[in-house]
Amino acid sequence: MLSEDMWETNLLLFLYRCWASKLTLSIQCSSPIIQDTADMALLCNRGWSSNHVIRVCDEALISPLGYEHWKGQVLTADELHVLYEGIKLNNVNQYDYVLTGYTRDDSFLDMVVDIVQELKRANPNLVYVCDPVLGDNGAMYVPENLLPIYRCKVVPAADIITPNQFEAELLTGRNISSEKDAVEVMNLLHSMGPDTVVITSSDLPSPLGDQYLVALGSQKRVTADGTMVTQQIRMDIPRVDAVFVGTGDLFAAMLLAWTHLHPDNLKMACEKTVSVLCHVIKRTITYAKEVAGPNRRPSPAQLELRMVQSKADIEDPAIVVNAVVL
């Protein structure tokens, strides 16, 4: 059993015993020494905690990017190649899942795709989960030369992607102004490669009012008799008046875990994923307000996601958001 201090120390590699022979390579970029959300979430998840998770980060930072100041080192594509070669030499490169997030270097992103493709040749059943971090609210916060790499290489290699509305629009070249548009964009993303697409947030109006944001998902799968079926869903998620770092990482990691446990039920996987986020955020806000004190705005440090304290909810979340099948 790991102590809380060990959970909160962000190591370069997390190595755990394999459960059901599942092995995950997590390439989490801009990863803070203080905390890494995606890997911590996977390891807190009961269905994943005994799995083997190997983590490589392309930036070792002293704090998340949400802080006013941050320092650290950036891993180059050549250095990633050296690390991966070391993994291969130790014969621990038979992966079942790959999880990737933010990067801002084109050569590093190209190298990630090369690694994923090599791993898929070794294991055709490998599932690649990609959070295609490009920007939000109408603005890119990565170099524009990454977009064609995502469009032409990353998305076609991915099995599950978790863009927000802006990222989905960038990847497809289509605007989303209605639920119908969102469904068409998800279908376009399916045609590019991924079987599962979840638009994690959007500007679409919710039937529950402006205190909710809309997320949408789509999953294509082949049934036992060879029939292709598609399940598409909408979720109305309560808005929170606060800014957190790591919620996208948490979403992608939880979607990986819950689609592993519910591979043919996107509705259930998304309900559990979003419910985990709601529980973690609620606990984080409660803690931050208590520490900050009355009438004081919590600091970035106080708003760091309370992952360890939310372990029970990550393992078995009470469903607080129900998805609607479209």
Query: CA dist 17 to 24, 106, 277, Å?
Result: 11, 33, 26
Tell me the C-alpha distance between 186 and 60, whole Å.
33
Q: Which two tokens stand for residue 173?
A: 């070249």
Annotated catalytic, 316?
Answer: no
The type of residue at 159 is D
Q: Which two tokens stand for residue 104?
A: 């801002």
How many CB atoms within 10 Å of residue 183? 18
Give the separation between CA 303 and CA 300, rounded to whole angstroms. Answer: 5
Q: DSSP assignment, residue 238? A: E
**Catalytic residue chosen out of the listed positions 39, 96, 249, 313:** 249
Query: 250 and 240 in contact (C-beta within 8 Å)?
Result: no
The DSSP 8-state label assigned to residue 152 in this structure reads I
Active-site positions read: 249
